[in-house]
Amino acid sequence: MLVLEDDENMRLAVGGSLRGAGFAVDQVADLAAADEALWVNRYDCAVFDRKLPSGDSLRFVRAKRAAGLATPVLFLTALDSVDDRIAGLADGDDYLVKPFDMAELVARVRSLCRRSAIGRPPVLRCGDLELDPASRQVRRGGILLTLTPREFAVLELLMATPGTPVRRDALIAGAWDEMADPTSNILDVVIRQLRRKLHHPPMIHTVHRVGYRIDP
């Protein structure tokens, strides 16, 4: 369980209630720490405060969803308009308005965790290459590879449709946020790094004027 809340008293209260209900809880105070935690660990659920000094966690979750994040997210927020609720449910999985009852929060988190256990994504395979979205691990020929978050996101997008070209703009949109420049060479750099780490024989192929394709 990951709790993102910038207010220390609220963070401790939420974390304490969830631990008291039997959950293992990691607590962070900003989006950068949340990003690192999501990369290192697999969580059954996340509880995110909506408005933070480091940014809007809804936009953060939207970008992570595009990169393949499957962890259920419950937003905690003082924003209670209909539009805010709709936005929260569009990119998150539940929405609880402050002030709230801790017992209700625990009940909602428990429900999301059950849903997460049922809907864990399958392991992706292409030849001797294996990518596990849940554990964030990649192996080729049984050997564990060390990838950056961007490399993992691009590889996961390619492995979702092996043998089928994936457009450059789709890869950039899925692995970066909406501020990324589609005309830059950021994707080419990551592809070059992936090819080096995957070793021989090569699996990632350039499709002229389209993008890239992965084949065993």
**Residue-level pLDDT, tens digit, the chain, 216 residues:** 899 999 999 999 999 999 888 888 899 999 999 998 888 777 888 999 988 898 888 889 888 887 777 888 998 887 766 777 777 676 678 888 888 889 999 998 888 887 665 555 678 899 999 998 777 789 999 889 988 888 988 998 898 888 889 888 888 877 775 455 556 688 889 999 999 999 889 999 999 888 899 998
- Cα gap 21→24, rounded to integer Å: 9
Note the helical H segments in the chain: 8-20, 31-40, 57-66, 82-91, 102-118, 149-159, 168-175, 186-198
Together in a domain, 47 and 29: yes
Together in a domain, 6 and 95: yes
Together in a domain, 130 and 109: no
Together in a domain, 113 and 146: no
Together in a domain, 106 and 173: no
Number of domains in the chain: 2
CATH number of the domain encompassing residue 30: 3.40.50.2300
Together in a domain, 160 and 189: yes
CATH number of the domain encompassing residue 201: 1.10.10.10
pTM above 0.85, yes or no: no
Last residue of a domain, which of 118, 143, 164? 118
Contact 13, 102 (CB under 8 A): yes
Together in a domain, 152 and 194: yes
- Cα gap 25→46, rounded to integer Å: 9
Together in a domain, 111 and 145: no
Peptide bond preceding 201 in cis form (omega within 30 of 0): yes
Q: Give the β-pairing of 204-207 and 94-97.
A: unpaired
Together in a domain, 167 and 86: no
Q: How many CA atoms lie within 13 A of 86 on its CB side?
A: 3
Together in a domain, 114 and 130: no
Last residue of a domain, which of 101, 118, 135? 118
Give residue 13's region: left, alpha or beta (phi > 0; psi -120 to 50). alpha
Q: Domain range for residue 208?
A: 124-214
Together in a domain, 83 and 129: no
